């Protein structure tokens, strides 16, 4: 059940694949104690934190002793909010009290989209300065936009991955701007 966000007249569907967020709890955490007293938390060797995996929504959290948490795998803000609630319950189970409201910041949104046409990646690489294309190394072209500050991976098939957006609106705007540029320089097949 993925959410599609529609663009203006010429409908472009952008699908959120992953939202990476940072959560600040405002406390220090005894991660060894938490890992030893609460089920469902992994404490891998040679890693400075612990891993908490959630099945609904399906995502992972890296918890550090500073009270910082990195959450990845979410597909919406609602997923993040639900995960924070589950994290707080798990901390409470481990007798760790969080008194303030956790601060949540979205760090990166990864989305996918289709340009609905094939792309001449060689031409796009020659016409735009803000690209990297090494087809012997990787089949996609790396395309950087200054506004919104994002990076796209564009494939000959017209499939595209948008990274670096902080909001879904930025991901939409980046996809639409990329499509506009590809059409303007006539790099369509």
The tens digit of pLDDT for each residue in 61-83 reads 999 999 999 999 999 999 999 99
Please check the confidence at residue 11 and state whether its pLDDT lies above 90.
no
Contact indicator for 114, 159 with CB cutoff of 8 Å: yes
Distance CA 108, CA 123 (A): 29
DSSP 102: P
Task: Please state, in angstroms and as integers, the Cα–Cα distance from residue 107 to each residue in 14, 50, 74, following that order.
Answer: 18, 20, 12
- Express each pLDDT in 107-140 by its tens digit: 999 999 999 999 999 999 999 989 999 999 999 9
Name the residue among 89, 83, 20, 21 with its Cα closest to residue 53.
83
Q: Is the pLDDT of residue 9 over 70?
A: no
Domain assignment present for 21: no
- The pLDDT assigned to 10 comes to 58
pLDDT band at residue 90 using 50, 70 and 90 as cut-offs: very high
Mark whether 82 and 124 lie in a shared domain.
no
Q: What is the mean pLDDT of the chain?
A: 90
| pLDDT for the residue 6 | 42
Looking at 84, 101, 118, the residue that finishes a domain is 101
Chain centroid to CA 101:
23
Number of domains making up the chain:
2
Residues 115 and 176 in one domain: yes
Residues 85 and 120 in one domain: no
In 43-175 the beta strands, taken as DSSP E runs, fall at 49-55, 58-64, 68-74, 103-114, 131-132, 141-145, 150-154, 159-165
Q: Which of 47-51, 84-88, 156-160 has the lowest mean pLDDT?
A: 47-51
The model carries a pTM of 0.85
> Do 117 and 83 share a structural domain?
no
Tokens at residue 161, please? 């991955």
> Left if phi > 0, otherwise alpha if psi is -120 to 50, otherwise beta: which for 73?
left
Tell me the CATH number at 121. 3.30.310.10
**pLDDT at res. 71:** 97
Query: Which of 60, 84, 101 corresponds to the end of one domain?
Result: 101
Q: In this model, does residue 12 exceed pLDDT 80? A: no
Q: Judge if 95 and 113 occupy the same domain.
A: no
Could you tell me if residue 189 is inside a domain? no
Last residue of a domain, one of 80, 101, 122: 101
> Do the domain assignments include residue 67?
yes
- Domain extent, residue 140, equals 4-16+109-184
């Amino acid at each position: 059940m993925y959410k599609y966000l529609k663009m203006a007249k010429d409908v472009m569907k952008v699908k959120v694949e992953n939202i990476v967020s940072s959560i600040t709890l405002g406390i220090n955490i005894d991660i060894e104690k938490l890992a030893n007293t609460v089920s469902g938390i992994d404490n891998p060797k040679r890693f400075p934190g612990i891993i908490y995996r959630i099945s609904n929504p399906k995502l992972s959290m890296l918890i550090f002793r500073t009270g910082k948490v990195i959450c990845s795998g979410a597909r919406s803000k609602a997923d993040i909010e639900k995960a924070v609630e589950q994290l707080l319950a798990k901390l409470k189970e481990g007798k760790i009290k969080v008194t303030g409201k956790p601060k949540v910041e979205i760090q990166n949104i990864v989305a996918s989209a289709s340009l609905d046409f094939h792309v001449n990646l060689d031409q796009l690489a020659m016409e735009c300065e803000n690209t990297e294309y090494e087809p012997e190394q990787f089949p996609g072209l790396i395309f950087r936009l200054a506004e919104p500050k994002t990076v796209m991976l564009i494939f000959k098939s017209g499939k595209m991955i948008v990274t670096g957006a902080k909001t879904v609106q930025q991901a939409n705007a980046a996809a639409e701007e990329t499509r506009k540029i590809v059409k303007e320089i006539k790099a369509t097949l």
